[in-house]
Amino acid sequence: MDEYEVDLREYLLILWKGKWIVAGVFVVAVALAWLLTARAPVEYRAEVLLGVERCVPTLDDQATPTAAWVAERVRHPGILSRAASEAGVSTAWLSEALGARVQGAFVQLTVQGNRPGAELAEVLDGMVAALHEDLAARVAQAVERRLTGVELEREAARTRLAAWEEEFDRVRTATEISRDRLREEIARVRDDPVLRTLSVGVDATIQGYLAQKELDLLYARLERAELALDEMERSGLAYVAGMAWRNLADQLVVLDEEEAALRSVLSEPPSPVSVVRGVAVSGPLKPNLKMNLAVAVVLGLFVGVLLAFLVHALRAPPQGGRELPAEGRTGPAAGGKG
């Protein structure tokens, strides 16, 4: 069992024999880390904070995107191409240098690269302008959709209003015709020479009594007709539609006001994105030399030790190939001599 016990002295001996391998790997790792860090290009970073809000209350949700949607939208090829052409950079470079991070209802846009800070700020300004233009176009499309909806609602209201007006005219005409007929009938009864000679009262005849009753009925019907016409004159369409006509009239007023507001918005569509914090440039940004050297030290020692043990294992003879001492040899020849 002793031959399987771990002896740290053997490992230390192997490391001592391979000390130049460990030292060489260590020096190369540290040198590479220092060289790469020293030769790393100086970068600058420009950032801007945008807020997303509802710009037109009456528009649908498509005109007011979420912050996450805006963070995705900035990478649209059309926006990238427009911003890159205005800033004089390539679309591929801008796509790689651009970053977008969502912070609640806000979106932070960043551009980082080895260009001067002023140039990065100009690129970010172009990106914000292109985003404003794109989102304003979406708002304009939403306004046009809403204007179409307003027109359809107004046409439906006007159709209903026209039906009420037709019904109102029909009722008023019928009432006026009935009133005129009643007046003619009353005049006929009152102007009948036979009936005018009949006394009405204590000496009334049957014929006179019936004539009086007929006049009373005619006057009652005439009064109802005239009251109905007065009510029509005072109430208008509410006579046939009730409160629904008033609600419809209010709806038409609201639709007219909304159309006027939408027309005003359409003349200069706003963007649902606003700049909360303007473009700020930070830098120069370089890799952390101390951190890189620390990582190089750890990796160099680790790789050097592994390489030292690997070289030792490759140089060691196979376990079954060891030669035995002379006095320990046995064989047929030795036995024959005996």
What are 154-167's pLDDT values in tens digits? Answer: 999 999 989 999 99
The β-bridge partners of 52 are 273
- Domain annotation covers residue 168: yes
- Domain annotation covers residue 308: yes
For residues 168 and 244, state if they share a domain: yes
For residues 253 and 303, state if they share a domain: no
78-92, 285-299, 300-314 — which one is most confidently predicted on average? 78-92
- Domain annotation covers residue 138: no
The pLDDT-based confidence of 49 (bands split at 50, 70, 90) is: very high
- pLDDT tens-digit series, residues 5-38: 556 777 778 777 777 877 888 788 888 877 776 6
Please determine, for residue 330, whether its predicted confidence score (pLDDT) is greater than 60. no
Q: Is 117 helix (H, G, I), strand (E, B) or coil?
A: helix
Task: Yes or no: say if 110 and 74 are a contact pair by the CB < 8 Å rule.
Answer: no
Single out the residue of 139, 83, 106 nearest to residue 270, CA to CA.
Answer: 139
For residues 234 and 170, state if they share a domain: yes
* Domain count of the fold of the chain: 2
Q: Where are the beta strands (DSSP E) in the chain?
A: 43-52, 98-103, 106-113, 273-285
- Domain annotation covers residue 296: yes
Please determine, for residue 133, whether its predicted confidence score (pLDDT) is greater than 60. yes
How much of the chain, in percent, has pLDDT values that exceed 70? 81
Average pLDDT over residues 95-118: 88
- Domain annotation covers residue 207: yes
For residues 293 and 190, state if they share a domain: no
Please give the residue range of the domain that contains residue 195.
Answer: 147-267
- Domain annotation covers residue 47: no
- Domain annotation covers residue 255: yes
Cα–Cα distance measured from residue 105 to residue 124, given in angstroms and rounded to the nearest whole number: 20
pLDDT of residue 208: 65
To the nearest 10 degrees (0 to 180), the angle between helices 206-235 and 117-190 is: 170
For residues 234 and 300, state if they share a domain: no
For residues 259 and 156, state if they share a domain: yes
13-17, 183-187, 334-338 — which one is most confidently predicted on average? 183-187
Report CA dihedral (66, 72, 74, 76) to the nearest 10 degrees. -130
The pLDDT-based confidence of 314 (bands split at 50, 70, 90) is: confident
For residues 161 and 257, state if they share a domain: yes
Task: Yes or no: say if 122 and 111 are a contact pair by the CB < 8 Å rule.
Answer: no
For residues 221 and 163, state if they share a domain: yes
Q: What's the whole-number average pLDDT of the chain?
A: 80
- Domain annotation covers residue 114: no
pTM of the predicted model as reported, rounded to 2 decimal places: 0.60
The residue type found at 190 is R
Query: For residue 104, what are its two tokens?
Result: 């609640």
For residues 151 and 236, state if they share a domain: yes
